[in-house]
Chains A and B, each alone.
Chain A
Amino acid sequence: MRIASLPQPAGTGCESGFRGVVCVSFDSADDTADHDAGGRPRHDLRFTSANPESLSELRSALLRSSVGIRLVLTGSPVDIHAAAAVAAECGLAEEEVTLVSDESGLRVVFCAHCRTRTETVEPIGSEVECQGCATDLEIANHFSRRQAAYLGFAANAEEAA
């Protein structure tokens, strides 16, 4: 069953003072349709990815809402982490946000050395080449919700060349 409403044009979002559940899904994720809003008013937003336009639409929807709101984010780590960072900036507390993550999706690795963000499907603990400085980065199990990224640092740097 699909109960999600059609995507709405930017700017009209939910009404001012909304205090229900905002369900945001990225890409093809259908999971938010299954999220039980517990009988509370529900507003659906569907985006292809967490790009500047979609994040700005999310931001304005949140800033129009009132205390009592809950946010459910569904999609790949790369998208839902970026959206969660926006929610935190807007003043949402952790217990007001639920993340439904597709762990097989893309995640972001932040290069500690050149600060470039590299997207990858490689799991935590493996290595990925930085798209900025071409360093082989080890993906640490160290996540920053503000950067919406995992820490990457030079792998094997202690071995003599």
Chain B
Amino acid sequence: MNTTIINDQNTGDTAVLPERIKGFPFPFSSDSYRYSANVEPAHKIVQTDVGSWGSSLIDVDEYYLSDLKEREKVLEKDPSRTAVLPHMRPAVWDAITTLLPAMAEDHPDTMSYHREGNVCRWTNTLQNLELEFTVGDDDSLPMGPMRFLGSQITDDIVFLDPREDTLWLDAGLVTFAADWSFGFDVGMKFMEVHTPVPRVTTEPVINRAHQFLLRLQPGEQFRRTNWTMTVDRRLDTSTESYPEWARDRGTIANDPDLPNRLHLRVEVQHMLCLPHTGAVLFLVRTYLLPLSDIAQVPVWRERAGHVLAELPDDMAEYKGIIRYRKAASDWLLAGE
């Protein structure tokens, strides 16, 4: 048994915390937050105040099927959320033959992978899927390699090609972007993708990350977390769909339902150097947890409240939370 029982300070009830809270990668370790290259090796288990996360490269949780369904809807409406520049085809195959066996190893009850020469057998019982394909033969996968990979993992997928002493964002499938446009950014250099980050000129963190990724050796796997906030459990907060969700940013502060509607959005970002092509694979798994859930863990409630209150305005502006961060921190800290 590993259910966690804590005393809910608001109600005095004891509550058994659900998986979505116990497995949530709560990102704050202190009462303030600044950009940092908070990089650590992949697979390392992180103990939180109420549970843990981080044991597997590709997380398969209760949202696995529903998130993939959401992804299909986004792709159907807007195919520009995925692109593969022609020279990145081998890298996509490299990712498939790296990630599927990693998933099978982490989830042996539901998935299996066998490779014989270039012929691979993949079973994913969560999707009732059993198929055989040939590495390098795009037609051997029903929807092509990139779409196929995006139908097996819920992470957003970005490929960076190392050349001319820099990294080029030359392929990917991104349906759950936090305020950026993959389709527009395809073909950009890593530093160009990040040009809108404030303080980037004073904080060397982006350049440091760039140097780090350039020096990754094939087979190495690292990860970091990043965070922002999102109104409702909306995964697609891309620039493309901005007109659909922008208004919520202006109205949520005065919404009495704020604790249930406003979510802490945490990205667990994995960085891998693919073994055969040397391309850098950047995976972004998005977790959303409403403030009402955060508040079920008193330490989280307090820490998140202080971080939001303390965050410098330019960072709050960049994260798109400046219009409501005070309302959020007020609510969180009122529970103390």
Indicate whether A and B are direct neighbours in the complex (CB within 8 Å). yes
Residues of A participating in the B interface, judged by any CB pair closer than 8 Å: 88, 93-95, 110, 112-113, 115, 135, 140-147, 151, 153-154, 157-161
* B241 / chain A contacts, CB cutoff of 8 Å: 113
A140 contacts which chain B residues (CB < 8 A)?
196
| Interface residue B16 (Cβ < 8 Å from any Cβ of A) | no
Shortest B216–chain A CB gap in Å is: 23
A151 adjacent to B181 (CB under 8 Å):
yes
Taking a contact as CB atoms closer than 8 A, the residue among B80, B186, B195, B246 that contacts A142 in the complex is B195
Per the 8 Å Cβ criterion, residues 188-203 of B in contact with A are 188, 192, 195-196
Given contact pairs A94-B164, A144-B185, A153-B239, A158 touches B195 in the complex (Cβ within 8 A): no
Interface flag for B36 (CB, 8 Å): no
Q: Which of B141-190 contact A (CB under 8 A)?
A: 164, 181, 184-188
Q: Does B63 contact A (CB under 8 A)?
A: no
The answer on a CB contact under 8 Å between B187 and A154 is no
Complex CA–CA separation, A146 to B181 (angstroms)? 14
**Interface range for B:** 20 to 34
Which of B18-26, B247-255, B328-336 sits within the interface? B247-255
10 contacts between A and B (CB under 8 A): A95-B164, A112-B181, A113-B243, A135-B243, A146-B187, A146-B188, A151-B181, A151-B239, A154-B246, A161-B247
Point out the residues of chain A lying under 8 angstroms from B80, CB to CB: 115
Since A113-B240, A144-B185 are in contact, a sample of 20 more A-B pairs with Cβ atoms closer than 8 Å, ordered by chain A residue number, is: A88-B187, A112-B184, A113-B241, A115-B80, A140-B196, A141-B195, A141-B196, A143-B192, A144-B187, A145-B187, A146-B187, A146-B188, A151-B181, A153-B239, A154-B246, A158-B246, A158-B250, A158-B323, A160-B251, A161-B247
Do B240 and A158 touch (CB < 8 A)? Answer: no
Q: Which B residue's beta carbon lies closest to that of A85?
A: B187
Partner of B196, one of A88, A142, A147: A142
Chain B: minimal CB distance from A129 (Å): 14
Alpha-carbon distance A37/B205, docked complex (angstroms): 40
Which A residues are CB-close (under 8 A) to B192? 142-143
* B240 proximity list for chain A (CB < 8 A): 112-113
Once the chains bind, are B249 and A158 in contact (CB under 8 Å)?
yes
Bound-complex Cα distance A154 to B185 (A): 17
- Return B6 CB to nearest CB of chain A, in Å: 37
Interface residues of B in 216-264 (CB under 8 A from A): 239-243, 246-247, 249-251
